[in-house]
Amino acid sequence: MVRLEGKVAVITGATGGIGSAAATLFAEEGARVALVDLDEAALQETARSIGEDKASYTVADVTRPEQTQAYIDAAVNRWGGIDILLANAGIEGTLSPITDYPIEVFDRVMAVNVRGVWLGIKYALPVMRAGGRGSIVITSSTAGIGGSPEMSAYNTSKHAVIGLMRSAALEGAPSGVRVNTVNPAPIETRMMRSLEEMRVAALDDAKVTVEVTKRSYADRIPLQRYGNPEEVARMMLFLASDESSFCTGGVYMVDGGRSAGSR
Ligand code: NAD
């Protein structure tokens, strides 16, 4: 079954672990994908691996309004419309208690993870409304439904996009545009490597290696492991496709049971 036949998907953070898995899966399911990220060489490589007849790309910083308008326009010009926005670009910030957390890092995390998603919706919605349908999928996190120490900026941002999603779902519903979040637990990507390394550096204890840190994070997940990007991409595919035609305003966990509680 080809579940996104004839659809156009804009994907931000498209060269990252989860974004590139989603772009690849969406294209396999028949979509044309418009990739957005910061690094041109990485975008070129991702587009090439998907196939240039199915993938285009735009270099853009999602925090910038004019660059957001440009990536939306580029997708429309190349593929004739937009059916799906996967607002997925994100950064982790740093690990630090609130009292020591650098203000400029807090601002940057909020700019990428919240303002970037808001801008994407702001400029994509008119295009989707014109088509009378659409699906917006936002990458939130288990950090969007619970707190964790030393990750205040990231936690705040991932909670914020759930509020944004709910407002956008109500605004989009009359014109058939659905909006949902996908909330992964730790997934095997650069972002978790970065967090593990920051944790090891902060503890400065020879016994606490990256492997030990990873095991301790994985032990908090009932399925006892990190997820992989393809497992997240499959939920994104469901929400992007017409199979989820009655789903809007929802928070969809992909978390190995993490949100069910701890064992
Ligand atoms: P990643 O670092 O591999 O990918 C993130 C991508 O976003 C990168 O390609 C990066 O260049 C891009 N990006 C960052 N700032 C940008 C900007 N200003 N403009 C455009 N692109 C920008 O990490 P990932 O794990 O694939 O993360 C994807 C999303 O999933 C993020 O929103 C992240 O918060 C979320 N998430 C990740 C995990 C995890 O464990 N990896 C868990 C829950 C949620």
Q: Could you count the other beta carbons within 10 Å of the beta carbon of residue 67?
A: 17
**What are the chain's domains?**
8-187+228-257 (3.40.50.720)
Q: Which residues line ligand 1 (CB under 6 A)?
A: 12-13, 15-19, 37-38, 61-63, 88-91, 112, 116, 139, 141, 184, 186-187, 189-192
246: tokens are 């009655």
The amino acid sitting at 98 is I
Question: Cα(1)–Cα(35) distance, rounded to whole angstroms?
Answer: 24
Question: Cα(125)–Cα(24) distance, rounded to whole angstroms?
Answer: 24
* pTM of the shown model: 0.98
Q: Is the pLDDT of residue 263 over 80?
A: no
**3 state DSSP class of 150:** coil
Give me the DSSP letters along 171-226: HHGGGTEEEEEEEE-SBSSHHHHHHHHHHHHHH--TT--HHHHHHHHHHTSTTSS-
Q: Which atom of ligand 1 is the closest one to the Cα of 227?
A: 40
| Whether 85 contacts 137, CB under 8 Å | yes
Q: pLDDT (tens digit, 9 = 90+) per residue, 146-169?
A: 999 999 999 999 999 999 999 999
Question: Cα(112)–Cα(13) distance, rounded to whole angstroms?
Answer: 10
Looking at residue 204, its pLDDT comes to 85
Active site residues per annotation: 154
Q: Which of 25, 38, 40, 226 to mutate to test the pocket of ligand 1 (most atoms within 8 A of CB)?
A: 38
91 CA to middle of ligand 1, Å?
A: 5
Q: Which atom of ligand 1 is the closest one to the Cα of 92?
A: 34
Question: Cα(92)–Cα(139) distance, rounded to whole angstroms?
Answer: 13
**3 state DSSP class of 148:** coil
| Whether 5 contacts 27, CB under 8 Å | no
Categorise residue 86: left if φ over 0, alpha if ψ from -120 to 50, beta otherwise. beta
Give the DSSP H/E element, type plus range, for residue 138.
strand 134-139
Residues 6+ apart with CB under 8 A from 81: 8, 127, 130, 131
The mean pLDDT value for 169-179 works out to: 98
Q: Which atom of ligand 1 is the closest one to the Cα of 190?
A: 3
Looking at residue 121, its pLDDT comes to 98
64: tokens are 């910038």
Q: Is the pLDDT of residue 257 over 80?
A: yes
User: 24-38, 162-176, 192-206, 242-256: which range is least confident on average?
Assistant: 192-206
Half-sphere exposure of 8 (CA within 13 A, CB side): 21
